[in-house]
A and B are shown apart, each in its own frame.
Chain A
Amino acid sequence: MRNYSIFALAREALRGHRGWEQQWRSPEPKSRYDVIIIGGGGHGLGTAYYLAKEHGVRNIAVLEKGWLGGGNTGRNTTIIRSNYLYDESAALYDHAVKLWEGLAQELNYNVMYSPRGVMMLAHNVHDVQVFQRHIHANRLNGVDNEWLTPEEAKAYCPPLNIARNARYPVMGAALQRRGGTARHDAVAWGYARAASALGVDIIENCAVTGIRRGSNGAVEGVDTGRGFIAANKVGVVAAGHSSVLMEMAGVRMPLESYPLQALVSEPVKPVFPCVVMSNTVHAYISQSDKGELVIGAGTDQYTSYSQTGGLPVLTHTLDAICEMFPAFSRMRMLRSWGGIVDVTPDRSPILSKTPVAGLYVNCGWGTGGFKATPGSAHVFAHTIAQDAPHPINAPFNLERFRTGRLIDEAAAAAVAH
């Protein structure tokens, strides 16, 4: 792998940009690997990277049915934050934020992590109380989060409408300054390039159609569109399709898959300095470096694999955006799209061993797993390599739905986060 640097850029500028190499290899699949990761999103590619980098596993394949990052990794609104209520969640998401801070250097790839601050608006007394509780819990866990008055919120984000007669009055806000955004595609590409350089085979256009188990019940390999590939360790990291894949191994999951939509406006000059989220009225907004307003909606009410959602969800979101930011009511929207998100009953992810020996699962990130990508990949690689969870992901096991030790962020957020 040739390093990216200012010198490489200068050299290529002088040579007409003919010397750039392919970012990752496209090898033919081997007949056997030590570890197979199913799913070429950020979480799967990152897992392969950390397996190779930190655990010395070299014979790894990532199997992706389409193209890298074509799932939710390339479809999300890229909000990064770690101000979750429960200790377990704060530890997991803050582990990720700490890795985001050094990720571009680690991967030698500009993932454009931008800690521009994530501000969550409180519109009613309930919101105020809940956010203050979050702020206190976060600070006890060493996670930054602070309370802003409406005036302070407006100073931080000038387009905000804090008029007292607004339809959704702003009664204050919780601000996590280390929160922000990153470039979603770059996360998939950066991990792919770094993993490939460490010998990981990344195989696109290779859908897994079956998971084979031997007579002792343990995993033996996977059937794919390109034939059978053997492996004694298989990690399922397939977001909305996780239930479908786990079913292939005979494991029924506590998951339901829903469409989640987002949309972007025409690009404009910098107008929006941070990320603003309103859980109560379902509106999430930031501005990309290209200048588009990036707006996230809620999930549809029904389960689906259609990768599109209904128009009422988008209109509902845009209603709220126009109320809070009247200046945006004339903006034209360029594109909207949907992704399929896998939602658990407690709205916390599952990073776990499974009842099947050699089968591991990283799923249930639902509407909010982009922010966790590096942390999730890091602890999941540990889980696969050691056949035991890392202390950070131990509580996020599959058994919690049997033991009752839920991590109930559903009650804490209950909506897209």
Chain B
Amino acid sequence: MLLIACPYCGEERPELEFRHAGEAHVARPDPIAEIDDAAFEAFFFLRDNPKGLIWERWRHVHGCGRFFNAVRDTVSDRFITTYKAGEVRREVVRDDEGGYQLKGEER
């Protein structure tokens, strides 16, 4: 089971308290009624599905109830970081040992 750090509760909690909520940073086109079919397809159906880092949303349904963002490695399922909804996308860099570090916070 994954352990997930909720950025609102400030605590690492078991996955059972959370719901996965799909790709993060997908902006709803505005005004949505005026987009063409290709933009509709991209917004509704096309998704990042990388073997490696994914930016995704989770919701702490059995905790504070809030949505937040996470960066996770889909091969090891390790979380690199979690951060609050609305914050800018966190960039990540690979370190010499093959792990990941937050950009600007490399050790």
A residues with a Cβ closer than 8 A to B are 241, 243-244, 252-257, 301-306, 310-312, 342, 345, 401-404
Chain B positions 1 through 37: 1 when the CB is less than 8 Å from some CB of chain A, otherwise 0: 1100000000000011001101000000000000001
Which residue of B40, B56, B75 contacts A305 across the interface (Cβ within 8 Å)?
A: B75
A-B contact pairs, 30 of them (CB 8 A): A243-B50, A244-B49, A244-B50, A244-B51, A252-B42, A252-B46, A253-B46, A255-B47, A255-B49, A256-B22, A256-B47, A301-B20, A302-B20, A302-B77, A303-B49, A303-B54, A303-B56, A303-B74, A304-B75, A304-B77, A305-B51, A310-B1, A310-B2, A312-B16, A342-B49, A345-B44, A345-B45, A402-B37, A402-B41, A404-B37
CA distance A304 to B2 in the complex (A): 12
Q: Which residue of A lies closest to B76 (CB)?
A: A306
Does B38 reach chain A (CB closer than 8 Å)? yes
User: Hey, which chain B residues are within 8 Å of A404, CB to CB?
Assistant: 37
CB pair B74–A305 under 8 Å, yes or no, is yes
User: Hey, which chain A residues are within 8 Å of B50, CB to CB?
Assistant: 243-244
User: Hey, which chain A residues are within 8 Å of B45, CB to CB?
Assistant: 254, 345, 401
CB pair B56–A302 under 8 Å, yes or no, is yes
CB pair B47–A306 under 8 Å, yes or no, is no
User: Hey, which chain A residues are within 8 Å of B42, CB to CB?
Assistant: 252
User: Hey, which chain B residues are within 8 Å of A301, CB to CB?
Assistant: 15, 19-20
Q: Which residue of B lies closest to A251 (CB)?
A: B46
A314 to chain B minimum Cβ distance, whole angstroms, is 11
B101 to chain A minimum Cβ distance, whole angstroms, is 21
CB pair B16–A253 under 8 Å, yes or no, is no
User: Hey, which chain B residues are within 8 Å of A244, CB to CB?
Assistant: 49-51
B54 to chain A minimum Cβ distance, whole angstroms, is 6
Known: A301-B15, A402-B38, A403-B37. 6 other contacts (CB 8 A): A241-B51, A254-B46, A255-B49, A303-B20, A305-B74, A312-B16
CB pair B49–A243 under 8 Å, yes or no, is yes
CB pair B74–A306 under 8 Å, yes or no, is yes
CB pair B40–A402 under 8 Å, yes or no, is yes
B99 to chain A minimum Cβ distance, whole angstroms, is 16
Q: Which residue of A lies closest to B72 (CB)?
A: A302
User: Hey, which chain A residues are within 8 Å of B56, CB to CB?
Assistant: 302-303
